[in-house]
A and B are shown apart, each in its own frame.
Chain A
Amino acid sequence: MKHLRPVNNKAKAIDESVNAQTAAMEQDVVALQQQVRPHVPMGCTLSFSPGWEVDAGGGTAGLCQPVERDIYDCYVTCFWPVQVPDHVNYSPDWASNCAAAARDWRSLDIIFP
């Protein structure tokens, strides 16, 4: 430690423990929790599959893609483990009437496997 100088045995043990924790923390990934927070432009997140996140203002309006776009991550790339149709085996055409999710999402139909 830099500011506290241990002067008895117990304090030396604490010193060693704090130094070990500090070293571990310096390896840690803190991303948006770090102080001061990094600059994140409005409308962007650090993940390039937006939709389920919020934007830097705490809402969903400023995302660079609409939240509805997120459903394709679940459908096509299995990015998110939710109950969506399986496009490989049973429902290859499920999204074919939905060219632009923000506009056409109502065309996505319920399916019965």
Chain B
Amino acid sequence: MTALLTHVYRSGEVHRFAAEGQDFIYLVSAGAIFALDGAVAQVLSMLDAQEMEHGALVQALVDAGQSHADAEDLVRELRLARVIVSDQTVAAPAPATPPVDYPLQALVLNITNQCNLACTYCYEFGADKIATPNGKPKYMTLDTAKASVDLLLAQSGGRPAVHITFFGGETLMNFPLLREVVAYATEQAGSSGRTITFSLTTNATLLTDEIIEFLAEKQIGVTVSMDGPQELQDKRRVYKSGKGSYAVIEPKLRKLIARHRSRAITARVTLTDGVTDVIRIFRHLKDDIGFHEVGFAPVTTSGTRDYSLSDDGMNSVLAQFHQLADEWLDYALKGWMHGFTNVSETIGELVQGTNKSHPCGAGLGLLGVSPSGDLSPCHRFTDADSHVMGHVSSGIDRAAQGEFLSKGHVGAKYACQSCWARPLCAGGCHHEAFVRYGDTGHANLHYCDWIREWTGRCLEIHGAISVKNPEFLEKFAQRKGLS
């Protein structure tokens, strides 16, 4: 006798939230966001109470007033979208690992590992450094830089556009090289019919009129590492003598922002003990100095350092993040860009529906290059012997890359399997995990709650905009180059 398939349904992996009176679900297996009607909400609450057999679920919906055909259609729709699942439905696959020869999109060139500042919390030189620069070149040579550009173009497959980020140390300590690399890379990319764009990260101390002119003319994106107004900046972003750097960079930044209009100028703030005044920092950098975007990140530490954020500090930071998130939403509803990067970045990923196999592009579409030409997963692993992933002269070490990527895959992180925020987080920064747990493939368990809280908040913001000003999301996606 034919045994008919009996579906016993339960709710799929969904995170429910509401905004502006509208119910939404975030579908974790895909990274998709749906607005629900009352019927879906009814099914989900029935299944929250107990698993239900197909016939019983349909009957319950008929009892609640739906026609039989409508109830069948609803159940089918939810099953096909994997909002409800049964043992007989095929489980959603984990995000696939991109192929080993995934084309490169970007290189981060550490054109020097030298720095004129001595910020106490620096991951490259501070207490938790993993770099082993002894005996290695301090400045990248032109030959190494050209080999890097050639590698990028050769390994980028059919990509029409690639990107180079200049990094340090203090990047501008090797500005002569930067200038030559921009010329060489533009020429090489142009001769193969491709475009190449550039950005750099700097502490801004060495900016000159000439450099500003060059950056503006070549449309080079600029990120400035900076911690806020004078007394906060000068707390830890100091010269080796202990003197603060604020007075040196402030006039230079104003010039840079006034002259350089072709790319967004971004500030990147490191939050440490005593530097937690997020709102004041944001106001100063955005409204007073004039940065277009300002992003914040807690300092990376192996545990407790004198500059680590305490739990109280982190709570205060979060409360202020929420305040800025409110502002971001107000701006968005009026159709304006706000400039709080921590919201903008997440919204960008939510618009797209990102479902990550890995937390970021490190070791995948992006590699770091040390001054000696060693390749590493990203700039944070530069000069660390433990993380060499080939050399610009000999190419990418596929075995090392494969090991790094299989360890870093979200499916390999046990703790992430029950977390609804994994499509965006995927376990968090490989470097932070290595510093904290000694393993790049370890989930960053110390900030899970924070990630969930923040992702939840950004979902609500996305939801509210989708109800009240959906055109903004389309415009935003275009601006971020996503659609």
Contacts and interface: CB of A to CB of B under 8 A. Distances in A.
Interface of A: 1-11, 13-14, 17-18, 21-22, 25, 32-33, 35-36, 54, 58
B456 to A, nearest CB: 15
Interface string B17-32: 0000000110100111
A4 B76 contact: no
B77 A2 contact: yes
B352 A9 contact: yes
A54 B482 CA distance: 58
A33 B7 CA distance: 13
Contacts of B37: 3, 5
B80 A21 contact: yes
B74 to A, nearest CB: 6
Contacts of A5: 34-37
Interface in B449-483: 462-463, 466, 470, 477, 482-483
Contacts of B354: 10
A17 B482 CA distance: 21
A35 B6 CA distance: 11
Contacts of A36: 68
Nearest to B482: A9
B352 A18 contact: no
A9 B354 CA distance: 9
Contact of A35 (B2, B24, B58): B58
Contacts of A9: 351-353, 477, 482-483
Contacts of A7: 24, 33-35, 462-463, 466, 470
Interface of B: 1-2, 4-5, 24-25, 27, 30-37, 39-40, 54-55, 58, 68, 72-74, 76-78, 80-81, 83, 350-355, 462-463, 466, 470, 477, 482-483
Contacts of B80: 17-18, 21-22
Contacts of B32: 6, 8, 10-11, 13-14
Nearest to A54: B1
B70 to A, nearest CB: 8
B29 to A, nearest CB: 10
Nearest to B76: A22
A10 B353 contact: yes
B1 A58 contact: yes
Given A8-B351, A14-B27, 19 more contacts: A2-B73, A3-B77, A4-B78, A4-B83, A5-B34, A5-B35, A7-B24, A7-B35, A7-B462, A7-B470, A8-B31, A10-B355, A11-B353, A14-B30, A14-B32, A14-B81, A17-B80, A22-B77, A54-B1
A33 B37 CA distance: 29
Top 4 nearest A-B pairs (CB, nearest first) are A10-B353, A11-B32, A4-B34, A10-B32
A4 B483 contact: no
Most chain B beta-carbon contacts within 10 A, residue among A13, A17, A32, A35: A35
B214 to A, nearest CB: 37
B3 to A, nearest CB: 11
Contacts of B350: 8
17 contacts: A1-B77, A3-B36, A5-B35, A5-B36, A5-B37, A7-B35, A7-B470, A8-B351, A8-B462, A9-B352, A9-B482, A10-B30, A10-B353, A13-B32, A22-B76, A25-B76, A54-B1
B74 A2 contact: yes
Contacts of A54: 1
A27 to B, nearest CB: 14
B417 to A, nearest CB: 20
A10 B76 contact: no
B352 A10 contact: yes
Contact of B77 (A4, A10, A58): A4
Given A3-B37, A3-B40, A14-B32, A8 B76 contact: no
A4 B36 contact: yes
A15 to B, nearest CB: 8
Contacts of B482: 9
Nearest to A57: B1
Contacts of B68: 36
A21 B482 CA distance: 27
B41 to A, nearest CB: 10
A21 B4 CA distance: 21
A29 B35 CA distance: 32
A58 B76 CA distance: 28
Contacts of A10: 30-33, 352-355
A86 B386 CA distance: 76
A62 B270 CA distance: 81
A11 B30 CA distance: 8
B147 to A, nearest CB: 38
B353 to A, nearest CB: 2
Contact of A4 (B81, B355, B463, B466): B81
A70 to B, nearest CB: 16
Given A35-B55, A54-B1, A8 B33 contact: yes
Contacts of A32: 2
A18 B27 CA distance: 14
B77 A11 contact: no
Contacts of A2: 73-74, 77
